[in-house]
């Protein structure tokens, strides 16, 4: 059984297209890749994290790594805040606004 990688796209991505090249590279390196797709608008990151948890729970792999881009990194941080004992491998956040962002504040102010 291979190790798995869950790819979590950013705010403006449609279906994880921004991570497609990375997905192909990781697959070629022997990882079982899964793209977690979600709709952002009107949903707080904590709610999306619950769906990400359910998505990950359905993956049968000995180790599950997460690669998250931008807002996907925020969702991933909420995931580990809500489910701290979840089985995981490594976590990579790519350009995640962990200290906040102007766009995020605007979206939060206008749900």
pLDDT digits over 34-68, tens only? 999 998 777 899 999 999 999 999 999 999 999 99
Taking the C-alpha atoms of residue 89 and residue 1, their distance in angstroms, rounded to an integer, is 15
Q: Return the DSSP state at 18.
A: G
pLDDT digits (tens, 9 = 90+) for 61-86: 999 999 999 999 999 999 999 998 77
Residue 92, exposed/middle/buried by CB under 10 A (0-12, 13-18, 19+)? middle
Inter-residue contact 35 to 23 (CB < 8 Å) = yes
Q: CB under 8 Å to 4, separation ≥6 — which residues?
A: 31, 32, 33, 34, 59, 61, 63, 64, 65
Predicted TM-score (pTM) of the model is 0.86
């Amino acid at each position: 059984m291979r190790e798995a990688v869950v790819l979590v796209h950013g705010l403006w991505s449609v279906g994880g297209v921004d991570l497609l090249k990375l997905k192909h590279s990781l697959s070629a390196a022997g990882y079982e890749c899964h793209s977690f797709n979600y709709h952002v608008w009107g949903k707080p990151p904590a709610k999306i994290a619950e769906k990400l948890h359910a998505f990950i729970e359905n993956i049968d792999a000995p180790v599950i790594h997460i690669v998250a881009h931008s807002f996907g990194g925020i969702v991933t941080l909420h995931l580990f805040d809500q489910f701290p004992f979840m089985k995981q491998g490594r976590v990579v956040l790519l350009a995640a606004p962990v200290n906040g962002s102007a766009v995020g504040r605007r979206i939060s102010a206008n749900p």
